[in-house]
Amino acid sequence: MNLGSLLIGSSAVETMKEWYRAAFDVKENEMGAFAFGSTQLFIEEHSEVSGPTKEPARVVLNLDVEDCRAIEAHLKTLDVTWVREVEQMPFGLIGTVADPDGNYVQIIQWGAAPESHKE
């Protein structure tokens, strides 16, 4: 079994798509989804969704990244909302941002040793 796709319902589809494009340098594929590895992320209108999310931590998107600090620096140029600044944990580096609808997106660099991101 494989998790093929995720759907984020939004009443601000274009705002959301523009944010994901800018934040993570992704483009939509022929189906209109952003490909994150083998998982596709769809952002579409949904009849039962309006406004910001009411429970942003219910579902969290975890993005495995190779250089958490580089992505952190890029996201800071976009003035994103940080829920959790990037920090060292025993398993690596992790930080959490909120997309325009308030959904949580974590960037995780698994296995990053303490201070390995500094010269």
* Domains of the chain: residue spans and CATH: 5-48+58-110 (3.10.180.10)
Is 114's pLDDT higher than 90? no
- Report d(CA 98, CA 104) in Å as an integer: 5
Query: pLDDT tens digits, residue range 45-95?
Result: 998 999 999 999 999 999 999 999 999 999 999 999 999 999 999 999 999
Predicted model pTM: 0.91
Q: What pLDDT is stored for residue 115 in this prediction? A: 63
List Cβ<8 Å contacts ≥24 apart for 30-39: 33/5, 36/63, 37/64, 38/2, 38/4, 39/3, 39/4, 39/5, 39/6
Is 116's pLDDT higher than 60? no
**Which helix (H) or strand (E) segment is 33 a member of?**
none
Q: What pLDDT is stored for residue 118 in this prediction? A: 53
- Report d(CA 47, CA 81) in Å as an integer: 27
Question: Could you tell me if 45 and 79 are in contact, meaning their C-beta atoms sit under 8 angstroms apart?
Answer: no
* Whole-number average pLDDT of the chain: 94
